Amino acid sequence: MKLCRYGPAGAEKPGVIDAEGRIRDLSEHVADIGPDALAPGELARLSAIDPASLPLVDEGVRYGACVGGTRQFVAIGLNFVDHAHESNLPIPEEPVVFQKWVSCIQGPNDPVTIPKDSEKTDWEVELGVVIGSRASMVSEADALDHVAGYCVVNDVSERHWQIERGLTWDKGKGFPTFGPIGPWMVTKDEVGEVQDLAMWLSVNGQRMQDGSSRTMIFDVAQIVSYLSRIMILLPGDVITTGTPPGVGMGQKPEPRYLKAGDVVELGIEKLGQQRQEFVAWRAA
């Protein structure tokens, strides 16, 4: 089952993607694709609805972030060996954990604003994990029981603020619009083996990242279990799990960063695609 949220920003409605790839309106059955809708029982109830029985949504409608009501947006860094190498950093012995502010979450195809005076805005295609039930001190064997599904995330990053402005990465990760999520959340039963999904990203039509979740250092079960030992994961929380090599910071002979007018397209096998135009910062 592919669940989405569609419509104007701040007024999104819940939807499901039918067999033809069209959005069907779920408003009669659920208020939102948020924490209350992600429990196993609720997902089972929604999956029993025939999408063909639901109202068809007009083509061209805006996709919002595929999950609403997210309270924690947690990220894992350096989770691919080759990406650690291109970043000139050692392979981590434990997951590198940081936060993306929930205020950065936006739709998958909405424009991304380059921060004021930024010269090092970068891209990162990542596998997103959506939590469906409360997880605290869970084992790796039980970790996936707490996962509702998966989605595409662009972990947009400002490297100057991430690396050169003190000891915490968070500052470079949560600028407004830096968290495109979606276009939909695919439930884990439909995804199947999550550790074997192709991942890619292009800038202005040039392929920059090609990878697979198969080469993650810490897999999804390890990440969920680890995080549940240092925090309580809540329904609707999103975990973004690291990027394969090919980010702008790692380009040779010189790094390559995003500028106004650049178009980034990215996708993950079975999870859909995103497209963002990067725009210059303007005073509100």
Q: How far apart are CA 85 and CA 82, in angstroms?
A: 5
Q: What is the pLDDT at residue 81?
A: 84
Summarize the confidence of residues 46-73 as an average pLDDT: 97
Which residues are 202's β-sheet partners?
Answer: 207, 265
Q: What is the pLDDT at residue 89?
A: 78
Which residues are 68's β-sheet partners?
Answer: none
Q: How far apart are CA 61 and CA 192, in angstroms?
A: 29
Which pTM was predicted? 0.96
Q: How far apart are CA 74 and CA 101, in angstroms?
A: 9
Nearest Cα neighbor of 1 from 9, 29, 12 is 29
- Express each pLDDT in 168-212 by its tens digit: 899 999 999 999 999 999 999 999 999 999 999 999 999 999 999
- The backbone torsions φ and ψ at residue 251, rounded to the nearest 5 degrees and listed phi first, read -70, 145
Tokens of 84: 């650690």
Q: What is the pLDDT at residue 82?
A: 78
Please say if the pLDDT value at position 284 is more than 80. Answer: no
Answer for the pair 272, 183: CB distance below 8 angstroms, yes or no. yes
Q: What is the pLDDT at residue 283?
A: 83
**Percent of the chain residues past pLDDT 70, beyond the cut:** 100
**Percent of the chain residues past pLDDT 90, beyond the cut:** 93
Which residue, chain included where needed, has tokens 């995103």? 274
Please say if the pLDDT value at position 141 is more than 90. Answer: yes
Collect all residues with Cβ–Cβ distance below 8 Å to 60 and sequence separation of at least 6: none
Domain at 64-280, CATH from 3.90.850.10, 3.40.50.2030, 2.40.30.10, 1.10.3720.10: 3.90.850.10
CA angle 231–35–41, rounded 5-degree value: 110
Answer for the pair 273, 183: CB distance below 8 angstroms, yes or no. yes
pLDDT band, residue 255 (cuts 50/70/90): very high
pLDDT band, residue 238 (cuts 50/70/90): very high
Q: What is the pLDDT at residue 86?
A: 81
Domains of the chain, by residue range, sit at 64-280
Q: What is the CA radius of gyration of the chain?
A: 18
Compute the half-sphere exposure of residue 108: CA atoms within 13 Å on the CB side of its CA. Answer: 27
Q: What is the pLDDT at residue 87?
A: 79
Q: What is the pLDDT at residue 91?
A: 86
Nearest Cα neighbor of 267 from 162, 74, 130, 123 is 123
| Secondary structure class of 150 (helix, strand, coil) | strand
- Express each pLDDT in 79-94 by its tens digit: 998 777 787 778 889 9
DSSP letter assigned to residue 249? G
Using a 10 angstrom Cβ sphere, with 0-12 exposed, 13-18 middle and 19 or more buried, the burial of residue 96 is middle
Q: How far apart are CA 177 and CA 105, in angstroms?
A: 6
Tokens of 283: 């005073």
- The backbone torsions φ and ψ at residue 229, rounded to the nearest 5 degrees and listed phi first, read -85, -20
